[in-house]
Amino acid sequence: MNILIANDDGPGSEGLNALQAATKLAYPDATIVTFVPRTSMGGQGLSVTPQRLDDFVVEAVAPHFYVCDARPADLIYLALGEPERFLNKGSFDLVLTGINHGENIGMDVFHSGTVGMAMLASTFFGTAAVAFSQQCDHQEEMNSGKNSMQPNDKIAFIRTFLRNGPRATGLCWNVNFPASNPKGWKVCSVAYHSRFRPFKAVDRKKEGCDVTELERGFIVVSPLCLNVVPPLIHPPNTSADSVRWACELDRVRL
């Protein structure tokens, strides 16, 4: 199995380290490739650099670890469109993005680099994708990447989710961790507002949506699917490993 880990925060991200550790525990026999921008490029998930893929210079800084002067969407086009640059054979079966410093819930999913990469992977390339983000209570915490939820707690949840989560071909999952130790986790709908942009006071109390449940201290998991008419025609990833990606959350009605 081949797994791509990407982010929009660059190679020094604390969240990236946690995601790498959890993925190695969940898939000890997989080939795990990390590909990130050389510097932070947050909030540019729908932006691309106006140049050919062949013109990007990809630098290996460690085994299976690459950086590039590129925007988040460029990373997905490069890795999934030209996997031979990163893999000896085959293509990527799973894309994981994050862990972003700052939550991506409600309306924020439309301009998030972390979520944008996962949506591009699932919608255009048909590859299973999961975006991970971490709520921060204050701007200072967001800048430092520090929060009260311990890295080992995130690693434990990600490991369990990846081992038991649903196959997501053509669909991506958006996972957000609360700033404090979680009360549990919930599958939630995406709110039509965000934490900092409520339309009405009552919006902040709407049960079952990602904004409210994250505020209440739960890890929130939301399925995201971009419908394109007519469907995009890039060949979907149908490897056996991807098809077998567990089914515990199949009870969720999409």
β partners of residue 6: 35, 97
Q: What is the dihedral of CA 161, 232, 89, 128, to 10 degrees?
A: 0
Report the alpha-carbon distance of residue 141 to residue 224 in Å, rounded.
Answer: 27
Both tokens of 79, joined, read: 């890795």
**Cα–Cα distance for residue pair 70/74, rounded to 1 Å:** 6
pLDDT of residue 121: 92
* Domain 2-251 in CATH 3.40.50.300: no
Q: State the Cα–Cα distance between residues 51 and 56, nearest whole angstrom.
A: 8
DSSP secondary structure string, 232-250?
P-SPPP--HHHHTS--GGG
Nearest-CA neighbor of 96 among 1, 26, 3? 3
- DSSP H helices, 35-82, are 72-81
pLDDT tens for each residue of 49-62: 878 888 889 999 99
pLDDT score, position 171: 74
C-alpha–C-alpha distance, residues 196 and 194, integer Å: 5
Domain boundaries, the chain: 2-251
**Cβ of 213: how many Cβ atoms within 10 Å?**
27
The more confident residue out of 152 and 127 is 127
Sheet of 2-6: strands edge to edge?
58-62, 65-68, 31-37, 2-6, 94-101, 128-134, 172-177, 219-224, 185-187
pTM summary value: 0.84
Instruction: Report the distance separating Cα 139 and Cα 91, nearest Å.
Output: 38
Checking if the pLDDT of 29 tops 90, the result is yes
Q: Which amino acid does the sequence have at 33?
A: V
Residue 90: pLDDT band with limits 50, 70, 90: very high
Which pLDDT tens digit goes with each residue over 172-221? Answer: 899 999 998 899 999 999 988 876 666 666 666 677 899 999 999 999 99
